[in-house]
């Protein structure tokens, strides 16, 4: 399966995260698992970690907080990487580039939202 889901316009993005800001952290989790976090995203996550600790009453970095809040199994990042590799290769074989952000959105939308 090749993911093609996207939230590419700002109004859609604002609507999607309105009332559900944690979804963005789930996308960061996926991007981190596939090694695609930008330096600015990493900086944002580092700066936001103290607030996440306060909100969720958890310790650790942003990654550990997301895992704890969502009760993710320890092997999830590996499974996400496998899915990324499979879908990227399939997209490439079909002459399509699968952007990491589109992949992250699809994983969250189709697999991580309870």
**What is the sign of the dihedral through the CA atoms of 49, 41, 44 and 42?**
positive
pLDDT tens-digit profile of 37-65? Answer: 999 999 999 999 999 999 999 999 999 99
**Of 13-27, 31-45, 88-102, the least confident:** 13-27
Spatial separation of the C-alpha atoms in residues 36 and 44, rounded to whole Å? 14
Phi and psi at residue 60, to the nearest 5°: 100, -175
What does the radius of gyration of the chain's CA atoms come to, in whole angstroms? 14
Q: Give the residue, 109 or 29, on which the prediction is more confident.
A: 29
Average pLDDT (25-39) is 96
pLDDT at 10 over 50: no
Spatial separation of the C-alpha atoms in residues 9 and 28, rounded to whole Å? 18
pLDDT at 18 over 80: no
Tokens of 62: 């942003």
pLDDT at 8 over 60: no
Domain range summary for the chain, segments of one domain joined by +? 24-112
* Residue spans of beta strands (DSSP E) within the chain: none
pTM here is: 0.81
As to burial, measured by CB atoms within 10 angstroms (0-12 exposed, 13-18 middle, 19+ buried), residue 11 is exposed
Average pLDDT (82-93) is 95
């Amino acid at each position: 399966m090749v993911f093609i889901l996207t939230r590419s316009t700002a109004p859609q993005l604002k609507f999607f995260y309105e009332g559900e800001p944690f979804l963005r952290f789930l996308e960061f989790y996926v991007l981190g698992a596939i090694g695609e976090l930008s330096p600015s995203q990493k900086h944002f996550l580092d700066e936001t970690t103290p607030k996440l600790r306060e909100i969720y009453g958890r310790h650790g970095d942003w990654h550990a907080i997301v895992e704890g809040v969502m009760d993710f199994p320890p092997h999830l990042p590996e499974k996400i990487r496998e899915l990324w590799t499979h879908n990227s290769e399939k997209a490439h074989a079909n002459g399509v580039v699968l952007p990491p952000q589109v992949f992250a959105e699809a994983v969250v939308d189709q697999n991580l939202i309870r």
